[in-house]
Amino acid sequence: MKIKIMLIVAAILSLAYSCKEEGCTNPSAINYNEDAEKDDGSCILPPPTTIALDVLPMYEDEVLELNKDYINITGDRIQFTDVKLIITNLKLNNQLVTDAAYFDYSEGTSMVTSEINITPGSYEGISFNIGVDEARNTADPAQYDPEHPLSINIAGNMHWSWNTGYIFYKIEGRYDLGNTGSGTPQENFVYHLGMNQYRKLWEDSNFNVDVQENETTPIALELDLSKVFYSETDTIYLSNGEDFTHTGPNQETLNIKLSNIFPNAINVVTQ
């Protein structure tokens, strides 16, 4: 008897339910149906509002090509074989937009972050750390989600295990001194810069961007590798043995130069 009653109730309920108007019940969807009482899975959500940060490696006015010959400021023939960079705490209008981004130029011709969610609006000023902030620099790289830019899965080759900390950037290549040798760059230069004292804040207060709702707004920066060897006050001389650092104490002079010069190589691409 009880079973019969339950079956009847269930049948009535399902009939009542199936009589409801079906449609998209999510108010955020572009096809939201305010009359719909039952969601039919048809909701189409608008595209998210995001930014995509692109750091385009350049050599002077052209896009950098790995393994291609260039003549640097001191007249040496050079080739780049690897360029990698970590930035943290990207802020627009002094608001944190993303906590970390990792760029690996050996993986492609451009270095673009995945799309970063952001509130639409007008933003003035951009800043980020070149490298990893102090609190996270010596933290466990295995603690992150495998997709996180600082995770050991993504940036494992940008992490020192003997003296816990991240490599902020790697610039590797070959050179031929004075362009007078064999003509083919054969000596290696290896710049791996890290450690808290060499981290720099990069900022441009004149930067501004309008982030449109439901669109991906690109933020284009360039990393001019020709400027990695000099600034107004410093010059790196490959001829003086300044071709290697793992940020060790014996390379302190080179570490300081690189740390001071590198921020000048990053600029906003003017539209």
Partner 1 sequence: MPSMLSLSKYWFFTFGIITIVIACQKDGEDETQYDVPQHFPEMMVPEDNAPTTTRIELGRHLFFDKNLSRDGTISCGSCHRPEMAFTDQNKLSKGIENRIGKRNAPTLLNSAFNTSFFFDGGVPTLELQVLAPIEEHTEMDFDIVAVAERLSNDEKYQEWSRKAYDRALDPFVIMRSIAAFERSLLSYESPFDAYYYQGQENAISTSAKKGWNLFRTREIGCINCHRPPLFTNQGFYHIGLTDNGDEGRRRVTGLEEDRGKFKTPTLRNLKYTYPYMHDGRFETLEEVVEHFNSGGISHPNKSSYIQPLNLTEEEKKQIIAFLNSLNDDSFKFKEGYQNPFQ
> Which residues contact partner 1 by CB under 8 A?
138, 140-143, 146, 152-153, 156, 159, 161-164, 195, 197, 248-250, 252
Among 98, 66, 110, smallest CA distance to 269 is for 110
Instruction: Give least dist CB 155 to partner 1, A.
Output: 11
Instruction: Give least dist CB 217 to partner 1, A.
Output: 33
Alpha carbon 200 to its chain's center:
16
| Closer CB to partner 1, 197 or 212, in the complex | 197
Q: How many helices (H) and strands (E) does the chain have?
A: 4, 17
Among 233, 226, 234, smallest CA distance to 265 is for 226
Task: Name residue, tokens 């020192």.
Answer: 160
Query: At residue 187, what are phi and psi to the nearest 5 degrees?
Result: -75, 150
Alpha carbon 54 to its chain's center:
7
Among 154, 231, 246, smallest CA distance to 195 is for 246
| Closer CB to partner 1, 123 or 168, in the complex | 168
The span from the CA of 55 to the CA of 57, in Å, is 6
Instruction: Give least dist CB 144 to partner 1, A.
Output: 9
| Closer CB to partner 1, 113 or 245, in the complex | 245
| Closer CB to partner 1, 77 or 192, in the complex | 192
Instruction: Give least dist CB 129 to partner 1, A.
Output: 20
| Closer CB to partner 1, 161 or 271, in the complex | 161
Q: Provide the 8-state DSSP code for 263.
A: G
Task: Name residue, tokens 């039952």.
Answer: 38
Strands 77-92 and 22-23: unpaired
Instruction: Give least dist CB 139 to partner 1, A.
Output: 9
| Closer CB to partner 1, 163 or 188, in the complex | 163
Instruction: Give least dist CB 161 to partner 1, A.
Output: 4
